Amino acid sequence: MAAYIFRRVLLMITLLFMLSVAVFFLFNMLPGDPARLTCGKACTPDLIEANRKRLGYDQPVLVQYQNFVGGIFFGRTFSADSPEPIKCEAPCLGYSFSRHEEVMSLITRAAPVTFWLAVGAFIIWLTVGISLGIFAALRRGRWQDRLTLGISLVGYSMPSFFIGLILYYFVVIQWKLLDKPEYVSPFEDLGKFLATMILPWIVLAVLYAAFYMRLTRNQVLEVLNDDYVRTARAKGLPERTVVVKHALRAGLTPIVTSAGLDLAGLLGGAIISENIFNLPGLGSLAVDSITKSDLPIITGLTLLTASLIIVANLVVDLLYAVIDPRVRLT
């Protein structure tokens, strides 16, 4: 087990390294001059050249990459020879000259918002999706099953920006049930936090719940036909025990994989929900940076999201070994 984790972590590091190379060079090949974006309308050719030097964009790409990776481990200093050098402590993902802030501090400020958004939605969609899925499976072919499937289809096909805008329009603007969303930390003002988050949670959860409902339903239906479920019935167990203890236990295992990866993906930022509800999370940060071609932020966010998914993969694999005794991690 320990050897397995060790090997997986090594693999993870290799993967992240390769990813950083890919991300860095791909983004550097994009058209557009990053130095041009540092000064807006006030730009003069001299200023652009000066900024290019301060940012290090005058150097060969390989050197730039070396500085970038060095910054992550040891920190780095921008515009070292100017009167006001910018010191970026390790782990330094770069410095955004459009926002005049370190990428790392931008991310740490936005991350909690996205974290609460993702975790809240995750809990809602798992609860709703799995229970509806089980419900539909147990009433397969009857009207309850069809109704649930229908609802899921609607939820699945509605784009989240549509649901988001509709909810926002009616709940906030027309009916004035909630105030205009403005993010506060749950530790500061829990009531306001919940009032802000409830709509984005619902928007995110609808899409995922619809997907998990179908997934759960199919899983349970498949498992209910398995031989060991018949054995459980042959033992004379009450139907409830047969379904919960024998069928679900086996049927829900694959859902763990899905759930882990989906949560990780969402932790990297929920672009649409955050934008509609004005949440200053990673998704909003990403959209803003992309429109401004703020390369350091985009690179940093991409690496962060990728790392989250790689870590989630490992966690899911470890969880699998806990859930299913047949899985041996070697």
Q: At closest approach, how far in Å is the CB of 314 from other proteins? A: 22
* Length of the chain in terms of residues written: 330
Q: At closest approach, how far in Å is the CB of 323 from other proteins? A: 7
Q: How far apart are CA 86 and CA 101, in angstroms?
A: 10
Residue closest to 73 by CA, chosen among 90, 88, 95: 90
Question: Would you say 28 or 253 has its CB closer to other proteins?
Answer: 253
Question: Which position has the token pair 């790689």?
Answer: 310
Question: Would you say 13 or 323 has its CB closer to other proteins?
Answer: 323
List residues binding other proteins (CB under 8 A): 226-228, 230-239, 246, 249-250, 323-326
Question: Would you say 99 or 139 has its CB closer to other proteins?
Answer: 139
DSSP conformational letter for 173: I
Q: At closest approach, how far in Å is the CB of 232 from other proteins? A: 7
**Residues 79 and 35 sit within 8 Å (Cβ to Cβ):** no
Q: At closest approach, how far in Å is the CB of 7 from other proteins? A: 24
Question: Would you say 41 or 326 has its CB closer to other proteins?
Answer: 326
Q: At closest approach, how far in Å is the CB of 229 from other proteins? A: 8
Distances (CA, A) of 208 to 63, 155, 164, 263, 266: 43, 9, 14, 10, 11
Q: At closest approach, how far in Å is the CB of 324 from other proteins? A: 6
Q: At closest approach, how far in Å is the CB of 226 from other proteins? A: 7
- For 116, what's the count of Cα atoms within 13 Å in the CB-facing half-sphere? 22
**Residues 275 and 284 sit within 8 Å (Cβ to Cβ):** yes
Question: Would you say 151 or 237 has its CB closer to other proteins?
Answer: 237
Other C-beta atoms lying within 10 Å of the C-beta of residue 26: 11
Question: Would you say 209 or 229 has its CB closer to other proteins?
Answer: 229
Q: What are phi and psi of 86, to 5 degrees?
A: -100, 115
DSSP conformational letter for 280: -
Question: Would you say 81 or 227 has its CB closer to other proteins?
Answer: 227
Task: Show the tokens assigned to 9.
Answer: 């972590």
Q: Tell me how far the alpha carbon of residue 207 is from its chain's centroid.
A: 14
